[in-house]
Amino acid sequence: MTRPALSSAFILASASPRRLDLLKQIGVIPSAVDAPHIDEAALPRELPAAYARRIASEKLAAVHPRHAGAFVLAADTVVALGRRILPKAEDAVTARRCLELLSGRRHKVIGGIAIAAPSGQSILRVVRTDVVFKRLSTAEIERYIASEEWHGKAGGYAVQGLAAAFIPSIAGSYSNIVGLSLSDVYAMLTGLGFGE
């Protein structure tokens, strides 16, 4: 879809360069990026979808009051294996453990998206994508760890990079796995009157 950039004031409440790049694909260019600083620890026994919904809502609540008159988008991405939320991999040990858990299994990537309009109206949506990983050999895991592509990624992998070789099947939004379901964001923004 080729379209001009939409012109309404728009704030991205995320420091993720992947989300910024994704939005640019659909012509949504943020006026500014204002990353929220909230506690993202999961609550005891919190399920993945509830966590994604809560964190997206809290990010929006932290940033929206600072930008009167603008649309604000906040999001969170969770990689879940059953009821278990996998961490963002900040070190090789965590990344390796995530890959070992995902190897040969189906998991869910759950995206929480929260958008507020200048009117104060807001929309919250949770998007689910099912992802299948092939069985990984120790050598494949170690090569991926050596790439350092996993750093800062939920579940310890990036579908848009080398890990694409590990994924034979996806059901749902591909861009949700990268960090933001573009079809959902577009529908939510237009539903709130963005760009009119």
Q: How far apart are CA 97 and CA 49, in angstroms?
A: 22
Catalytic residue selected from 21, 76, 130, 184: 76
Active site residue 21: no
DSSP 157-196: --TTTGGGGG-SEEES-HHHHHT--HHHHHHHHHHTTTT-
Q: How far apart are CA 6 and CA 85, in angstroms?
A: 35
DSSP 6-72: P-S-EEEE---HHHHHHHHHTT---SEE-------PPPTT--HHHHHHHHHHHHHHHHGGG-TTSEE
- Say what the alpha-carbon torsion angle 132, 137, 142, 147 is, to the nearest 10 degrees: -40
- Could you give the residue numbers annotated as active site? 76
